[in-house]
Amino acid sequence: MKKKKIKIKYKNVFAFLFFLILLFLGIYYILHLKITNIYITNTDYLKDRYILEKAGLMQKPTIIQSFFMNIEKKLEKDVYIKKVTMNRKSIFDIHIKIEENKPLFYHNTLKKTILEDGSEVKEIYSVPKLLNYIPDKKYKKFIKKMSSVDKNILEQISEIKYEPNDKDDGRFLLSMVDGNYVYITINKINMMNSYMDIMLEMQRKFENKHGILYLDSGKYFKVLEN
């Protein structure tokens, strides 16, 4: 009977050791599981590689590591990023939604690009060039209003000149890539988002001739004489 009991004890020990090995291997496997996919959305200017570098995600982290990386905080420190929203549809995926601090115009005097929050950066983008000085009070409002202009419209504006008159001290002249000009006031800058539709109407009416679009005091078009 003694020998039989010893054999049973040995079997229990081996079973316990086998369980520990399996448990260790299971934990090791889980700890070393890596993120499979990283999705980045809502960007126009920033490249995925740039975002991955800033977030420390160039080398895909393990699932466990990813929960302690403070990805949102790392990205929101960047001057080009206003807000980050991150969610997971599975433990293997990371979805990162970016709200960019987009470039608005190039300040010709400062030789810098101005972003939505007024920050200044050295990089140059396909944005309008501001040619002259704008008074400080008007300048802050101008930046705020310009942030409402769509990216595709910003790319259609070549130059911006502050050109106040007796009626409005917040008046600007925009030189467009298509060869036309636009007079507009600060309070009406968001109307530029309808520029393509307005010009389509004017081109039909004036047989594709170049001219000046007056949005500062109505919505009429004056053909430029050759």
10 Å Cβ neighbour count for 184?
24
Which amino acid is located at 214 in the chain?
Y
Could you give the domains of the chain? 37-100 (3.10.20.310), 103-223 (3.40.50.10960)
Q: Is the pLDDT confidence value at 160 over 80?
A: yes
pLDDT at 51: 96
Mean pLDDT over the full length of the chain: 88
pLDDT at 32: 65
pLDDT tier for residue 4 given thresholds of 50, 70 and 90: low
pLDDT tier for residue 6 given thresholds of 50, 70 and 90: low
pLDDT at 10: 67
Q: Whole-angstrom Cα distance, residue 61 to residue 36?
A: 9
Tell me the average pLDDT across 90-113: 94
Joined together, the tokens standing for residue 81 give 């990023």
- Nearest alpha-carbon partner for 41 in 103, 115, 95, 89: 95
Tell me the average pLDDT across 40-45: 94
pLDDT tier for residue 28 given thresholds of 50, 70 and 90: low
pLDDT at 25: 64
